[in-house]
Amino acid sequence: MSTPRDASTESVGMTAAVLVRAGEIVLERRPVPAPRADEVLVRVTAVGVCGSDVHFYKDGHLGDWVVSEPLVLGHESGGTIVAVGDDVSRERIGERVSIEPQHPSTTSAETLRGDYNLDPHMEFYAVPGTDGAFQEYVTIQSHFAHAIPDSVSDHAAALMEPLSVAIATARKARFSPGDRVLVTGAGPVGIAIAQVARAYGAAEVIVSDIADDRRAAALSFGATSVVDPSSPDFETLVAGVDSFADASGAASAVRAGIRALRPAGRAVLVGMGLPEVPLPITAIQNKELVVTGVFRYANTWPTAISLVAAGRVDLDRMVTGTFGLGQVREALESTADPSTIKSVVVPTRA
């Protein structure tokens, strides 16, 4: 490990909010990490709260990932570069960046074919074994610290991560001008998908959610219509859509969305729910539907930054609450309120 080429952080400790066991977050003083040769050290200015953080906090696990030792949560982040490794230009010090929070192997088959998000050896922020960004400083490989223009806020820099999930979804769903799109689930990812669908030219974006507050929020972020999935008119209102993206993880939503597709339509499963659910196989076969999933993202940040800088996606207005490092527990628990779209932790806030 190289020494950071900036003397201002070498002798300064930092504060981290650490998940020590399910339901318990404590503040710890830790040394500031030193960037490796190809890394930069980032002073974190904002971190979004993701549903995966909430699962780890409440349950101590998510799918096959189990928190067996203290873990810093938070993977939606941005900040300012304050030091660089030996192989990185000092000119990057002071640069505001959005962090792509992953470190894939450079030699895996997945990385070599361009699918680095599927690398089985991935080190990803806030997944057991790799600390995340609910702390004052983090390191990341320099090419995953994406420079942002001055017009992009610190909050938006952090939320490029869920926006990247939406962009990966759009690419899989092949959103096109004039399309009719169905999005199930109006949480932050569903709202981001709705915004991206409109930015890509979709003529109609239908968003479904069981919560009145979230349906109302979806309308304010570009949905052309919203529907309660329990409505008796649901099937009629969504029938014949060109593409469907599930951001809820609910088995009933997945099945209903697949049935709503026109022949040769595309379904993209984004939300994490049960590991196995029954699907309408006959509909998939007879209509030759494409059903696929999204796991994180690859090569999405330039598109995300461009959409936000151009004003075609609004991330700032998605932030409904800000919290300090001493309030990480409150930030995680705030997501249970249906009026919450996105909570953000600001490490420099008291």
Digits of tens for pLDDT over the chain (350 positions)? 444 455 455 457 999 999 999 999 999 999 999 999 999 999 999 999 999 999 999 999 888 899 999 999 999 999 999 999 999 999 999 999 999 999 999 999 999 999 999 999 999 999 999 999 999 999 999 999 999 999 999 999 999 999 999 999 999 999 999 999 999 999 999 999 999 999 999 999 999 999 999 999 999 999 999 999 999 999 999 999 999 999 999 999 999 999 999 999 999 999 999 899 999 999 999 999 999 999 999 999 999 999 999 999 999 999 999 999 999 999 999 999 999 999 999 998 75
The reply to whether 75 and 142 lie within a common domain is yes
Closest CA to 78 of 52, 53, 101, 56: 101
Same domain membership, residue 189 and residue 143: no
Q: Which two tokens stand for residue 176?
A: 């096109």
* Predicted pLDDT of residue 63: 84
Burial (0-12, 13-18, 19+ Cβ within 10 Å), 209:
buried
Q: In whole angstroms, how large is the CA radius of gyration of the chain?
A: 20
What is the domain-level CATH number for residue 135?
3.90.180.10
Q: Is the domain of 37 the same as that of 146? A: yes
**Pick from 349, 235, 341, 240: nearest CA to 289:** 240
Instruction: Tell me: do 109 and 25 sit in the same domain.
Output: yes
Strand duo 319-323 + 342-345: pairing: parallel
Q: Would you say residue 350 lies in a domain?
A: no
According to the model, what pLDDT value does residue 11 have?
Answer: 53
Q: Could you tell me the two tokens for 328?
A: 């990480």
Note the pLDDT of residue 256.
97
Pair (14, 150) in one structural domain: yes
Q: What are phi and psi of 102, to 5 degrees?
A: -135, 155
Same domain, yes or no: 322 and 287: no
Count the domains in the chain. 2
The reply to whether 53 falls in a domain is yes
The rounded Cα 73 to chain-centroid distance in angstroms is 13
**Structural domain of residue 239, as residue ranges?**
166-293
Q: Is residue 11 part of a domain?
A: yes
- Report whether 6 contacts 26 (CB < 8 A): no
Both 154 and 171 in a single domain?
no
In a domain, 142, yes or no: yes
- The amino acid that residue 231 corresponds to is S
Cα torsion 107, 110, 112, 116: sign = negative
- Per the domain annotation, does 298 fall within a domain? no
Q: Strand pairing partners for 261? A: 241
66 and 132 part of one domain: yes
Query: Would you say residue 299 lies in a domain?
Result: no
Residue 66 lies in a domain: yes
Handedness of CA 317, 318, 321, 322 (dihedral sign): negative
Q: Which amino acid makes up residue 325?
A: L
**Phi, psi at residue 236, to the nearest 5°?**
-65, -40
**CA–CA separation, 100 vs 123, rounded Å?**
12
CATH code of the domain in which 181 resides: 3.40.50.720
- Do 208 and 281 lie in one domain? The reply is yes
224 and 269 part of one domain: yes
DSSP H stretches of helix in the chain: 51-59, 109-112, 154-158, 160-173, 188-199, 212-220, 234-238, 251-260, 281-286, 301-309, 328-333
In a domain, residue 44? The reply is yes
For residues 20 and 146, state if they share a domain: yes
Q: Does residue 321 share a domain with residue 286?
A: no
